[in-house]
């Protein structure tokens, strides 16, 4: 059986910030951004459990393989919330476990950025390839679309609670639009606009702020870049007059530090909002995105 054949990665022991409780209505979210958006839409609506599928230390579900514990969660779900483009276990893989669960892809209708096609960033074993860049949640503009898709999908799945979902989604969307306004105000203020990032997660954030991601070190932050990539990145930084290199909180800083030292620039950190060490507060998304904006303001002036 499929459930018995699923592999179990060693890092699976990290606690999940979502608390599984007994309820009539069970929603499973693929990874942290979808959990943040879905809990905002569900709010305090009674008799609902919103669970997080991936462990909170995994990050983006790059080539993630479902475990037996994941299969049990999915088997009990009414609805599975996916961002789209990242979850290799979506579609038929979930249907084999639970043919009745409604799958909602939140990135439907988003203005998707095409993959760069930068083959130098790919390792021979890297299967992190998509029809488009899937990191849409890192744009407050696209986040509004994702929240709306989640709201509409949940309202269709649970029509008796549609009014609650409408109210909660409207309140959260108002906060996202306030965040959009802060991004729009910052957009014309940057002195430097060329940036280099650890991986390709920040293309949407850059688009919102009219910044140019001139290079990404790797397409998967859990994999070392292929030979020659470091030298190419250093050359790009110097050629494009990039003032700093952006790494990520949960990625080893050693490689970024090496590149920054060779290029003569500083290292700063941007949060892709895919990991957390505890159950996130309701305003976690806004807090972390404003922190990202502040980092960009300070490092690109």
Q: What is the pLDDT of residues 167-211, one digit of tens each?
A: 999 999 999 999 999 999 999 999 999 999 998 899 999 999 999
Once rounded to an integer, what is the mean pLDDT over residues 236-256? 91
Asked whether residue 56 carries a pLDDT value surpassing 90, the answer given is no
Q: How many residues does the chain have?
A: 301
Top pLDDT among 227 and 194 is at 194
Top pLDDT among 119 and 184 is at 184
Local confidence band at 222 (pLDDT 50, 70, 90 cut-offs): low
Domains along the sequence of the chain with CATH: 23-181 (3.40.50.1980), 188-299 (3.40.50.1980)
Task: Report the pLDDT value the prediction gives residue 273, as an integer from 0 to 100.
Answer: 96
User: Chain-wide mean pLDDT for the chain?
Assistant: 88
Local confidence band at 278 (pLDDT 50, 70, 90 cut-offs): confident
Helix axes of 32-42 and 162-186: crossing angle, nearest 10 degrees:
120
Q: Which residue's entry shows tokens 């949060």?
A: 271
Residue/partner pairs of 235-239 with CB below 8 Å, 24 or more apart: 236/196, 237/196, 237/263, 237/265, 238/263, 238/264
Least confident residue range of 37-46, 118-127, 134-143, 266-275: 118-127
Task: Report the pLDDT value the prediction gives residue 167, as an integer from 0 to 100.
Answer: 98
246, with CB counted inside 10 A (0-12, 13-18, 19+), is: buried
Task: Report the pLDDT value the prediction gives residue 36, as an integer from 0 to 100.
Answer: 97
> What is the distance between the alpha carbons of residues 246 and 268, in angstroms, rounded to a whole number?
5
Asked whether residue 127 carries a pLDDT value surpassing 70, the answer given is no
Asked whether residue 20 carries a pLDDT value surpassing 50, the answer given is no
Task: Report the pLDDT value the prediction gives residue 282, as an integer from 0 to 100.
Answer: 94
Report how far apart, in Å, the C-alpha atoms of 191 and of each of 93, 194, 221 are: 47, 10, 28
**Alpha carbon 140 to chain centroid, angstroms:** 12
Asked whether residue 55 carries a pLDDT value surpassing 90, the answer given is no
Task: Report the pLDDT value the prediction gives residue 9, as an integer from 0 to 100.
Answer: 36
| Residue of 53, 25, 49, 24 whose CA lies nearest to 39 | 49
Asked whether residue 137 carries a pLDDT value surpassing 80, the answer given is yes
Once rounded to an integer, what is the mean pLDDT over residues 253-267? 92
Instruction: Kindly list the strands in the beta sheet with 79-82, ordered across the sheet, starting from the edge strand earlier in the chain.
Output: 48-52, 25-29, 79-82, 102-105
Asked whether residue 249 carries a pLDDT value surpassing 60, the answer given is yes
């Amino acid at each position: 059986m499929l459930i018995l054949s699923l592999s179990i990665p060693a890092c699976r022991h990290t606690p999940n910030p979502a608390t599984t409780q007994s309820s009539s209505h069970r929603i499973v979210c693929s990874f942290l951004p979808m959990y943040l958006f879905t809990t905002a839409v569900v709010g305090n609506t009674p008799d609902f459990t919103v669970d997080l599928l991936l462990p909170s230390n995994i990050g983006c579900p790059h080539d993630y393989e479902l475990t037996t514990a994941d299969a049990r969660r999915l088997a009990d779900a009414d609805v599975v919330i996916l961002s789209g483009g990242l979850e290799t276990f979506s579609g038929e893989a979930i249907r084999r476990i639970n043919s009745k669960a409604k799958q909602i892809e939140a990135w439907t209708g988003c203005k998707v950025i095409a993959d760069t096609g930068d083959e130098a960033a790919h390792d021979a074993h890297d299967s992190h390839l998509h029809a488009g860049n899937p990191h849409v949640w890192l744009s407050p503009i696209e986040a509004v679309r994702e929240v709306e898709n989640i709201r509409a999908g949940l309202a269709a799945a649970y029509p008796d609670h549609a009014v609650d979902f409408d109210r909660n989604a409207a309140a959260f969307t108002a906060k996202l639009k306030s965040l959009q306004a802060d991004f729009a105000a910052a957009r014309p203020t940057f002195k430097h606009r060329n940036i280099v990032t650890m991986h390709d997660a920040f293309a949407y954030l850059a688009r919102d702020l009219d910044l140019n991601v001139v290079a990404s070190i790797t397409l998967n932050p859990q994999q070392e870049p292929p030979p020659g990539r470091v030298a190419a990145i250093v050359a790009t930084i110097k050629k494009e007059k990039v003032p700093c290199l952006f790494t990520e909180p949960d990625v080893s800083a050693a490689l970024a530090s090496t590149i920054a030292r060779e290029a003569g620039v500083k290292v700063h950190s941007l949060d892709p909002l895919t990991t957390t060490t505890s159950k996130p507060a309701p305003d976690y998304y806004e807090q972390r995105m404003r922190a990202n904006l502040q980092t960009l303001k300070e490092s690109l002036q």
